[in-house]
Amino acid sequence: MKIVYSDKKTGRSAQAEIAEDMKPLLLNRRIGDAVDGAVIGLSGYKLQITGGSDKSGFPMDAALQGSGKRGMLRPAGSSGRNKGVRIRRTVAGSTVSENTEQVNAVIVEYGAKSIDEVLPKKEKPAKDKAAGSAQEAKQ
């Protein structure tokens, strides 16, 4: 099971794998519940569950209680040609279970570690201008 956690202030996010012995701390939690950051090694931090998806890729929906899947009528669009149209979509329940593959969370309380240690910046590979112009010349 993975957890994707983010910081609202900076807009940055990171992903962590949950250890097998920490999974029971997340099971049977619902969307909106707060969990201790120690689940992924962030002691002192609090994370609020905002969503997720199951092993089949269906997103979790806060309106559906339990952990099963169900077809629900969802709005297709809010404007234009699809305004007012509803489409049946399969969604997973709002409770974290063994079938949950990914949990999305947001940081609500900060701990002793700095946010740069918690959410490391990824270095973007430098683009070589000469290689880029050579690619354009070939096309």
pLDDT in tens, 14-48: 898 998 998 999 999 999 999 998 888 888 899 99
**Residue 82: domain span:** 2-138
List the alpha helices (DSSP H) in the chain: 115-118, 129-138
Domains in the chain: how many in total? Answer: 1
Instruction: Measure the CA–CA gap between 55 and 102, rounded to whole angstroms.
Output: 8
Mean pLDDT of 2-9: 90
What global pTM score does this model have? 0.79
Q: Are 39 and 26 in contact (CB under 8 A)?
A: yes
Question: Pairing state of beta strands 100-109 and 86-92?
Answer: unpaired
Residue type, 96: V
pLDDT in tens, 41-87: 888 899 999 999 999 999 999 999 998 999 999 888 888 888 889 99
CA distances from 121 to 11, 76, 93, 94 (A): 12, 36, 33, 31
Contacts of 55 (CB under 8 A, 6+ apart): 99, 100, 101
Terminal-residue alpha carbon distance, the chain: 43
pLDDT attached to residue 82: 85
Q: Is the pLDDT of residue 126 over 60?
A: yes
